[in-house]
Structure 1
Amino acid sequence: MDMTDKRVLVTGAAGGLGQAICWAFARAGAQVLALDHDAAKGLALVAQGEGESPAVRARLRFVQADLADLPALSARLAALFDEIGGIEVLVNNAAIYPSRPVEEFSIDDHRRVQAVNVDAPLACVQAALPHMKRQGFGRILNVTSITLYGGWPLLLPYVTSKGALQGMTRALARELGPHGITVNAVSPGAFPTDAEKIHPDPEGYARFVLQHQSVQRRGSPEDIANAMLFLASDASGFITGQTLNVDGGWVMQ
């Protein structure tokens, strides 16, 4: 997919999926704003580009921002988009996923997860919309989760947040379609990234994953990145309000 001249913002850029998404867009010709709160991981992301061509490396820019601080995030994005003239593609990838029994979550715990996983994506959308509307084109991609279909305990605030993000995807798609903006969700299955470290038995969890998938291999972050490239491209212009499960055939509905 050719992303030449497209400007892309990816949140959670320094995570396992975020890294692959950022470099895939950069290789496709996009100018990538790689946003993350962790400066050390952001530097590591940039260092990953040492194996890339100078042209690809030059297309990626690390942006440090804390999604939990919504006023600061909105101000940071407003200044950034004024500087570069806005973006064409927004990838709301960042999320937090604390794991423990429901009775051990406080209401404040729950609200913090919603702030990062739901409110921050909305803040990013609101910051991006003026430019997208002005040019009559935009692609908004939200990362949800197959945990919405059940099967994973101890993740109540996270699963709740992903349900809200899927609802937001559909509501935005309906409202923004007349402006040439499509809004879709990508729902990853189980990928061997840092997110899996919450599971106490990695080998057992890997067996559990393969037992549920139709495709008998573990997914790679590049599988998600490829789906993102398609949904961000001109080829997907008649697709909006949809959720694409990229999960090796785990969920079929």
Structure 2
Amino acid sequence: MTSFNLEGKSVLITGGVQGLGLEFARALSREGAHVAVTSRDELKAKAVADSLREETGGRAIGVAVDVTDSAGVKRMADEVMQSFGRIDILINNAGINVRKPILEYDEDIWDMVQSTNLKAPFLCAKAVVPYMIKQRFGRIINMASMLGTVALPERSAYCSSKGGLIQLTKVMALEWADHNITANAVCPGPFATEMNQVVIANPEANQHFLNHLPVKRWGEPTELAGLILYLASDMSSFMTGSAIVIDGGWTIE
């Protein structure tokens, strides 16, 4: 029987300085993983790494990167390799959401959402997977969304990018299975993160969400940690190409 222990494994989490990404970093570090968190803001990335080391006693580094820039992403992967010697787990977590009706959506904003949510996981995988192939081990976890499978008004770019990420995950799984690399997508529903505070703070919008949730509440970031640990560990070695919905029951109907 394998375990969730990640002692000696190295994990790279894009957008790992807040929200779900930070929760993942904490959970993985507690299980012994060396953790690299990224942000566009170098000071913030390094401050979060400092707090992780203090909180868990594990190794952690903060890396500044624009995940939509291929050269920057390559430098990011090289920096993590120099620090840890390997990259076992890649969590493509960085993402944005801009809410507007389609007819009011600016082309530049559309491109920004697609680049961050869909292009960036493609670039990060291209930079990291060659190392995984050499070491004959890898876990790729792409943070998609339930909105990659169902839609909401004013989320055209977000829904499109997350649906594309689910499909990209399946192609990754097919192409790299022979190298002992798995790729899975996590599809969260409404979680109480920084990104969703604008909805939570709007009584009408918040009630609309609660009406669609059989559990009648928003999810807490800690409630995703167990799934991430499973996907990062040897326990999930037979799972690849899956899109796992964890949404409080929203998509049941």
Query: Same fold per TM (> 0.5)?
Result: yes
In the TM superposition, 1:121-140 aligns within 5 A as 121-140=121-140
1:22 touches 1:60 (CA, 8 Å); kept in 2? Answer: no
Query: How far 1:79 moved relative to its partner?
Result: 4.2
Choose the corresponding residue for 1:26, options 26, 29, 36: 29
Q: State the one-letter code of the partner of 2:149.
A: Y
Distance in 2 (CA, whole Å) between partners of 1:204 and 1:73 is 40
Aligned-CA RMSD value: 2.1
Query: How far 1:82 moved relative to its partner?
Result: 4.6
Query: How far 1:193 moved relative to its partner?
Result: 1.1
**Secondary structure of residue in 1 paired with 2:165:** helix
**Secondary structure of residue in 2 paired with 1:184:** strand
Aligned to 2:230: 230
Q: Using a 3 Å threshold, how does the CA distance of structure 1 residues 47 and 206 change in structure 2: closer, same or farther?
A: farther
Q: State the one-letter code of the partner of 1:42.
A: A
Give the fraction of aligned pairs with identical amino acids, expressed as a percent: 34
Distance in 1 (CA, whole Å) between partners of 2:94 and 2:30 is 21
2:16 touches 2:39 (CA, 8 Å); kept in 1? Answer: yes
**Secondary structure of residue in 2 paired with 1:223:** helix
1:158 maps onto 2:158 in alignment: yes
Query: How far 1:23 moved relative to its partner?
Result: 0.6
Q: Using a 3 Å threshold, how does the CA distance of structure 1 residues 174 and 50 change in structure 2: closer, same or farther?
A: closer
Aligned to 1:177: 177
1:38 maps onto 2:41 in alignment: yes
Moved more, 15-24 or 100-109: 100-109
Distance in 2 (CA, whole Å) between partners of 1:84 and 1:14 is 19
Any idea what the Cα deviations from partners look like across 1:64-84, whole Å, max 9, x if unmatched?
111233322223323432553
Aligned to 1:113: 113
Q: State the one-letter code of the partner of 1:93.
A: N
Distance in 2 (CA, whole Å) between partners of 1:8 and 1:228 is 11
Q: Using a 3 Å threshold, how does the CA distance of structure 1 residues 200 and 252 change in structure 2: closer, same or farther?
A: closer
**Secondary structure of residue in 2 paired with 1:251:** helix
Aligned to 1:244: 244
Any idea what the Cα deviations from partners look like across 1:123-163, whole Å, max 9, x if unmatched?
11111112211121110000011123334211211111111
Q: Using a 3 Å threshold, how does the CA distance of structure 1 residues 165 and 87 change in structure 2: closer, same or farther?
A: same
Aligned to 1:90: 90
TM-score (normalised: structure 2): 0.90
Distance in 1 (CA, whole Å) between partners of 2:33 and 2:200 is 38
Aligned to 1:12: 15
Aligned to 1:189: 189
Q: Using a 3 Å threshold, how does the CA distance of structure 1 residues 210 and 44 change in structure 2: closer, same or farther?
A: farther
Query: How far 1:225 moved relative to its partner?
Result: 1.9
Query: How far 1:247 moved relative to its partner?
Result: 1.2
Aligned to 1:221: 221
Query: How far 1:108 moved relative to its partner?
Result: 2.6
In the TM superposition, 1:46-61 aligns within 5 A as 46=49, 48-49=51-52, 52=55, 56-61=56-61
Query: How far 1:98 moved relative to its partner?
Result: 1.1
Query: How far 1:14 moved relative to its partner?
Result: 1.4
Q: State the one-letter code of the partner of 2:11.
A: V
Unaligned runs of 5+ in 2: none
Distance in 1 (CA, whole Å) between partners of 2:52 and 2:84 is 22
